Amino acid sequence: MPYLTQLADVARRTAYPVTEVAGWQSRGHGPQPEVKGIVCHHTAGPPGGGDYPSLAVVRDGRPGLDGPVSQFGLGRSGHIYLIAAGRCWHNAPSTSAAHANSSSLGIEAENDGTQPWPDVQKEAYVRLCAELCREFRLPASRVKAHREANAAKPDPHSIDVNDPS
């Protein structure tokens, strides 16, 4: 599979605002080999500081983890940030072959890991996952919380990705 340059069109189908972060079309740790799953995260970023203060970390990485960390960022307002079209380091080690870095897409939603989720952000999360499932012909069961695909992780806090409501 090449770099997934159709991701901007997929994100726009949610009807939420989309920002294409400069360089996203060629950003990644090589092409994305396949898409068999989606992994939902929270950034564990700062509790304040705007809509998506974790953008630089998700795009560029942090000590011990090279960026990009995830293909998508999701702001508190529901705004979608398209960060990378290639493979990202968002889930290793994975407990699921369908959710490893080389076989899944990552969404990093802005949240410090304790704060309540704004309704608009939760709705954008659902819509983005649904559109990605539609695009890659995945069943909803292929959307996993990070904690379901990596036993050492707690995110995204208080969101049950298996609850259809």
Q: What is the pLDDT of residue 159?
A: 85
Q: What is the pLDDT of residue 18?
A: 98
Q: If you search the block for the tokens 């819509």, which residue do you land on? A: 127
The model's pLDDT over 90-108, given as tens digits with 9 standing for 90+, comes to 999 999 999 999 999 999 9
Q: How confident is the model at residue 164 (pLDDT cuts 50, 70, 90)?
A: low
The model's pLDDT over 2-18, given as tens digits with 9 standing for 90+, comes to 899 999 999 999 999 99
Q: How confident is the model at residue 1 (pLDDT cuts 50, 70, 90)?
A: low
Burial 45-73, CB ≥16 within 10 A → b, else e: beeeeebbbbbebbbeeeeeeebbbbbbb
Top-confidence residue, 154 or 20: 20
Sign of CA dihedral 12, 16, 17, 22: negative
* pTM > 0.75: yes
